[in-house]
Amino acid sequence: MKIRESRKIGMGIFAVLALVLTLSYVAALQGQLQQSCLSQGGLIRFSQCNPAMSDYVCSSTSCQICVTYYPELDVYCPAHPSSCNNAGLQCNENSGGNGGGGSGPDLTAPAITIHSPIKNQIYSNKRVLLNVALNEIAKIEYSTNGGTWKEICRNGCMNGQADLRLEDGSNLVEVRAIDKSQNINQTGVNFFIDSKKPRILKTMPKKGYANGSFSVEFREENPVDLKLIVNGVEHPVNLNNCIEERKGTLCETNVDLFSYDGQEIPYYFVLEDMAGNVVQSKETFIKIDVTDPIVNVLNYTMDKTRVSFMFNITENNFDEISFIDDNDRNPRETRLCSRLKDGICETKRSFREGLHHLTIYVKDDAGNSIEEEVSFEIIR
C-alpha cells in the first residue's frame, strides 16, 4: 500500500515539475499580445499552452479575449484583459484578428477555386484536367463520383492539378483543402462527358426514286440536332418524333419536293451530339417523282371462281399493282401485276365463294400510290 502511494506521489511531483518547466519555457519566449475576436463556436486551444487549462469556446454571438501568441510554439496563452486594454488593442470582427498588427487564432478554412472542370460543362474526352487554386497554403485532396480521397499535395500548396480519367455520363469531382490549423473546406462541380461520336447506320431512300419521304437510323445516346440537307437546302428534323429501334434511333421526315419533280438531286443527314461531335451521312443522289400513278381503265370479268382484271395505267416509273381482300379470313396484301406492257396489265385470280371487297393499290418506284376499290360476289 505504501509503495503505491509513493508511486502516486512520485508521478504527481513529475507532472508538477513538467508543468513548471513548460510554463518557464513559455515565459522565457517572446510573446505577442493580441485581442482576439471570435464568433459563436470559435475555439482557442489554451490546452496547448498549458495541459491543465481548458480550451476557450465562444458561447455568445461574438467574443473578445486577450491572449498572448508564441510563434515559436504556435500556441496561445490567456492574458489579463487589462493588458490588451492598456495597449489599446482592438480586434477586427471581419477577419478575427486585431487592429494592433498581430493575428488571432486561425479559424478560417481555405477558400477553394476550381478552374477546371467547369460546372455543368460538357466534355468530349474522358481525360479531364482538375485545376485547383487556394487562398492559402493547405493540403489538397480530391474525390471522383464519391470514391476514395486522393492527395494532390500532402505538404501544402496553393495550386494543384490532377489528370482525371472518367467515364461517359454525369460526373462529380469534389475537392477539399485542410490548412495547418486543421480548418477544412470542401466543394465540388458536376459536369458531363460524351466521348462517343454519333454513328449513322443507314439512310433511306438508298438510291433510285424518291417522293419526299426520308429516314435515318443512328446510334447516339445524346443527340441534340439533326438536319436533312436536300440539294443544298437545310431541313431540321424533330428529334422528339424519333423512335428507339433494336439497333439505334429511327427518325422519319417528309420534305416537299414538288419543285424538283423529274430531277436528280443529292441529299444527306447531319447529326450532332451534346458534346459538339458532328457526323454526316454519305451523299446520295435520288430521282424525284412526286406524281401519283394514273388509272385510266380498271375492268374485271368473272368466270365462276376466277376473276380477270385489266388495267390501263399511266406511270413512267411503275412498280406494282396489289390488293387486299377485306372479306378474306386473313386479309393480306397480294400482288396482281409487276410490269406493264404499253401501259396495260392483264391478270387472273381465283377467289372463294361469297362476297369480296378489294382495295387495289397502284404504286410507282418513288413510293407514290393510288387506291381503287372493287366489290363482287362469287357464286358457283
Residue 237 sits in a domain of what CATH number?
2.60.40.10
Among 24-28, 103-107, 356-360, the least confident range: 24-28
Helix H or strand E segment including 21: helix 2-28
> Of 63, 98, 133, at which residue does a domain stop?
98
Q: Taking a C-beta distance cutoff of 8 angstroms, is the pair 128, 190 a contact?
A: no
pLDDT value at residue 352: 92
230 lies in the same domain as 265: yes
Number of structural domains found in the chain: 4
Q: What percent of the chain has pLDDT over 70?
A: 88
pLDDT digits (tens, 9 = 90+) for 163-182: 999 999 999 999 999 988 88
Of the residues 249, 272, 288, the one at which a domain ends: 288
**267 pLDDT exceeds 60?**
yes
Structural domain includes residue 103: no
Reply yes or no on whether the pLDDT at 72 is more than 90.
Answer: no
Give tens-digit pLDDT for 92-107: 333 333 333 334 567 7
- Average pLDDT over the chain reads 86
Residues 267 and 182 grouped into a single domain: no
Whether 265 and 216 map to the same domain: the answer is: yes
Claim to verify: residue 283 and residue 309 sit in the same structural domain = no
pLDDT digits (tens, 9 = 90+) for 222-252: 999 999 999 999 999 999 999 999 889 999 9
Short-list 194, 233, 238, CA closest to 216: 238
Q: 369 and 339 in one domain?
A: yes
Query: Which amino acid is present at 170?
Result: S
Residue 4: per-residue pLDDT: 47
Is the Cα dihedral 366, 367, 373, 375 positive or negative? Answer: positive
60 within domain boundaries:
yes
Q: Do the beta carbons of residue 177 and residue 157 sit within 8 Å?
A: no
* Domain span holding position 184: 112-193
- 191-208 pLDDT, tens per residue? 999 999 999 999 999 888
Instruction: For residue 86, tell me if it sits in a domain.
Output: yes
| Domain annotation covers residue 224 | yes
Q: Could you tell me if residue 233 is inside a domain?
A: yes
Dist. CA 63–CA 99, nearest whole Å: 15
- Assess whether 216 and 256 both reside in one domain: yes
In a domain, 107, yes or no: no
Verify that 256 and 314 share a domain, yes or no. Answer: no
Whether residue 362 is contained in a domain is answered as yes
Q: How far is CA 330 from CA 324, 327, 365, 377, in A?
A: 10, 8, 27, 18
pTM > 0.75:
no
Residues 185 and 212 placed together within one structural domain of the fold: no
Mean pLDDT of 129-157: 93
Residue 106 included in any domain? no
CB atoms within 10 A of CB 10: 10
58 and 127 housed in the same domain: no
What letter would DSSP give residue 338?
Answer: S
187 and 218 belong to one structural domain: no
- Last-in-domain residue among 136, 164, 193: 193
How far is 139 from 186, CA to CA, in rounded Å? 12
Percent of the chain with pLDDT over 90: 63
- Report the alpha-carbon distance of residue 347 to residue 340 in Å, rounded: 11
Q: Is the pLDDT of residue 292 over 90?
A: yes
Position 88 scores a pLDDT of: 78
Q: What pLDDT does residue 16 have?
A: 43
Are 181 and 121 within one domain? Answer: yes
**Are 279 and 309 found together in one domain?**
no
